[in-house]
């Protein structure tokens, strides 16, 4: 593309308004990569073999301090598509249902279709599908091209072709029976062609869609979102990409202990990684060096595999002469721990889980091969792309928490804010402010008083590996960053069915719960309150309606009775007995005793998303409807 033509296109973008015809607007190609940290050649990683992403960086502005807004797949993608923080929407969980909680939300592709006349399409992993979540078909005009996230070709990886735990999660199968399923392999490397795996097939379909779009040039611009699964676990990639890396030369973790003086709520051991073999199921200590090398090798090989698929898509953009009027964005949904701090995968507020790559190529606006230390967030991409396309500033039902990065695209030294914000919920909610030098994390239950908060502070100039929490020794820095955090709206609770979770006071109380269940599948939570230490759950297991009580971490199943597909229920839980009525038929069991303390996790209806209150693995959504739930408590006689 010539300089003069670039300048003409940039001027058109600048002058374009809502009155412009659709044909005058730039196309948008949004490339999403699951679990991709900045382990890329263009970000200075000497071990990466990512020539195609590196080539994209040469025609893009690279954001060196870019952060996701929550290091979990589904919430991170919601923040991107809504332009709103999870703390503004209540969409914190893998099983969060967008249209139940925000039925009128307008996502980025919906906005482009409505205000710019765009044809919107999606392929691969865009919204999170799995863990009880089914994505958001309403966001795109064309049917979504869906393919696998968890995928194996070698039968040995699945104990002879059995359904594995993570396959079940990502296909919404047997969600209440995860622990009974075998673990799949953490990695495999067959000698196959690229399109034997989903990312190769997604790349092929993206090229086909681009060819169709090229035939519409001058008629309708496109907004195509292409999502790739690797380097998400399992590290399933053709052997040739493993061969690009010498495992003995790849970097092992430098520091495998949690930060000194960090609050216990901030740390992580096990989690997602434990659902894969041969990872130890009790992942309390460092992995054996040989396993670490294999996992790290798998991550880099998977990144090289997805880089090759992205390269094919970018080559098609050039060959079809679409690059001259197409904005290209590459975004990783969150980072990935590779044994640093003794942590694997994501789900923390630490640097490796939250720092992401963002590359933006806007012909005539961005200078290729440039970089910026402007702190950027996922929520910024909605207003940024809207402005680049010449659309009116977003006016949508949900809050827009992002800011346009267009001033930075034009001048990388410009600044539109001096920090990034992100959050992660555990037993408490951790909200973080990340400046060029520091990160402050405040851990506090939603609605709790200031004196209950715990803080983390890290100085990335003196301690880039986050070895020590400095909050107690740097009170002035903590106070300064707390003032920034105080400018953000109060976080909303995890929300269910459009309203805040109700959390009855059940400590030392008898509890009566009633309601109606319709169209229920064989498994899933009807009502639950509590989590890893204390709580109860009324849930279905193979069409058995079961009542579990958790006391000091141990679960006792009190009752389990056959249930029809639709039924009324009433449960009465006292210190001596539990009575369950299903369509007026009564069953009784001996009570293990009342719950002695108020559980930290609130009541959930129709799902249990965070930590399991019963004998199942969370998230555990019910495929059905629960209505008319009433909870009454009374003191024990």
CA neighbours within 13 Å on the CB side: how many for 515?
Answer: 18
DSSP 28: E
Pairing, β 535-541 against β 544-551: antiparallel
Which stretch of DSSP H or E encloses residue 184? strand 184-185
Angle 609-612-613 from CA coordinates, rounded to 5°: 115
H helix intervals, 271-419: 289-319, 351-354, 381-388, 406-410
**Cα separation, 133 vs 450, whole angstroms:** 34
Could you give the CA distance from residue 503 to residue 114 in angstroms, rounded to a whole number? 39
Neighbouring residues of 531: CB distance < 8 A, sequence distance ≥ 6: 427, 550, 599, 600, 601, 610, 611, 612, 613
Q: Which two structure tokens, joined as six digits, stand for 557?
A: 């199943």
Q: Largest Cα–Cα distance in the chain?
A: 85
The span from the CA of 120 to the CA of 113, in Å, is 7
Q: Which of 128, 144, 334, 347 is catalytic?
A: 128
How are beta strands 184-185 and 276-277 bridged, if at all? parallel
Q: Which residue reads 């006292």 in tokens?
A: 574
Angle at 372 between CA 368 and CA 377, to 5 degrees: 110
Contact 57, 48 (CB under 8 A): no
Exactly one of 52, 73, 144, 347 is catalytic; which is it?
A: 73
**DSSP code at position 280:** -
Decide if 419 is catalytic.
Answer: no
Q: For residue 146, indicate whether it is catalytic.
A: no
List the catalytic residues. 73, 128
């Amino acid at each position: 593309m010539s300089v003069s033509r670039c300048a003409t296109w940039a001027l058109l973008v600048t002058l374009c308004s809502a009155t412009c015809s659709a044909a005058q607007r730039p196309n948008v190609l949004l490339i999403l990569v699951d679990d991709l940290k900045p382990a890329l050649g263009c970000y200075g990683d000497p071990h990466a073999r990512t020539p195609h992403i590196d080539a994209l960086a040469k025609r893009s502005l690279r954001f060196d301090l870019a952060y996701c807004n929550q290091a979990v797949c589904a919430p991170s993608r919601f923040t991107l598509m809504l332009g709103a923080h999870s703390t503004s929407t209540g969409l914190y969980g893998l099983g969060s249902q967008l249209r139940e909680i925000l039925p009128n939300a307008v996502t980025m592709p919906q906005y482009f279709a409505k205000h710019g006349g765009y044809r919107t399409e999606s392929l691969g992993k865009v919204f999170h599908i799995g863990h009880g979540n089914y994505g958001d078909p309403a966001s795109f005009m064309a049917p979504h091209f869906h393919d696998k996230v968890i995928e194996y070709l070698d039968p040995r990886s699945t104990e002879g072709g059995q359904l594995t735990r993570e396959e079940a999660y990502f296909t919404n199968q047997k969600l209440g029976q995860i622990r009974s399923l075998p673990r799949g392999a953490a990695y495999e490397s067959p000698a196959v062609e690229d399109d034997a795996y989903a990312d190769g097939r997604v790349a092929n379909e993206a090229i086909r869609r681009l060819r169709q779009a090229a035939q519409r040039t001058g008629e309708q611009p496109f907004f195509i979102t292409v999502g790739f699964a690797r380097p998400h676990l399992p590290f399933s990639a053709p052997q040739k990409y493993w061969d690009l890396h010498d495992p003995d030369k790849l970097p092992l973790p430098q520091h495998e202990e949690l930060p000194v003086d960090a609050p216990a709520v901030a740390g992580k051991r096990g989690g997602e990684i434990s659902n894969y073999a041969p990872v130890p199921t009790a992942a309390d200590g460092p992995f054996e060096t040989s396993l670490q090398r294999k996992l790290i090798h798998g991550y880099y090989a998977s990144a090289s595999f997805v880089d090759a698929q992205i390269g094919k898509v970018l080559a098609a953009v050039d060959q079809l002469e679409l690059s001259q009027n197409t904005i290209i964005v590459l975004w990783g949904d969150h980072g990935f721990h590779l044994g640093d701090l003794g942590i694997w995968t994501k789900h923390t507020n630490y640097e490796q889980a939250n720092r992401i790559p963002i590359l933006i190529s806007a012909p005539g606006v961005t200078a290729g091969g440039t970089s910026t230390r402007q702190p950027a967030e996922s929520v910024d991409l909605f207003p940024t792309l809207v402005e680049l396309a010449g659309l009116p500033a977003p006016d949508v039902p949900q809050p827009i928490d992002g800011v346009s990065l267009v001033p930075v695209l034009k001048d990388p030294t410009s600044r539109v804010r001096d920090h990034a914000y992100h959050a992660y919920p555990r037993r408490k909610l951790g909200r973080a402010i990340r400046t060029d030098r520091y990160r402050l994390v405040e851990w506090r239950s939603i609605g709790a008083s200031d004196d209950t908060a715990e803080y983390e502070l890290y100085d990335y100039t003196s301690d880039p590996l986050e070895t020590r929490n400095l909050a107690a020794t740097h009170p002035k820095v903590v106070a300064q960053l707390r003032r920034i955090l105080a400018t953000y709206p109060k976080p909303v609770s995890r929300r269910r069915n459009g309203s805040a979770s109700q959390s009855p006071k059940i400590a030392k109380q008898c509890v009566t719960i009633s309601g109606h269940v319709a169209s229920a599948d064989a498994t899933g939570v009807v009502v639950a309150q509590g989590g890893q230490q204390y709580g109860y759950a009324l849930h279905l297991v193979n069409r058995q309606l079961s009542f579990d009580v958790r006391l000091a971490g141990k679960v006792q199943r009190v009752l389990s009775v056959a249930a029809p597909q639709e039924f009324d229920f009433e449960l009465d839980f006292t210190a001596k007995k539990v009575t369950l009525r299903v369509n007026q038929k009564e069953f009784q069991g001996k009570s293990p005793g009342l719950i002695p303390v108020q559980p930290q996790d609130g009541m959930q209806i129709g799902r249990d998303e965070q930590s399991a209150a019963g004998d199942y693995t969370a998230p555990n959504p019910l495929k059905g409807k629960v209505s008319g739930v009433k909870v009454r408590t009374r003191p024990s006689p």
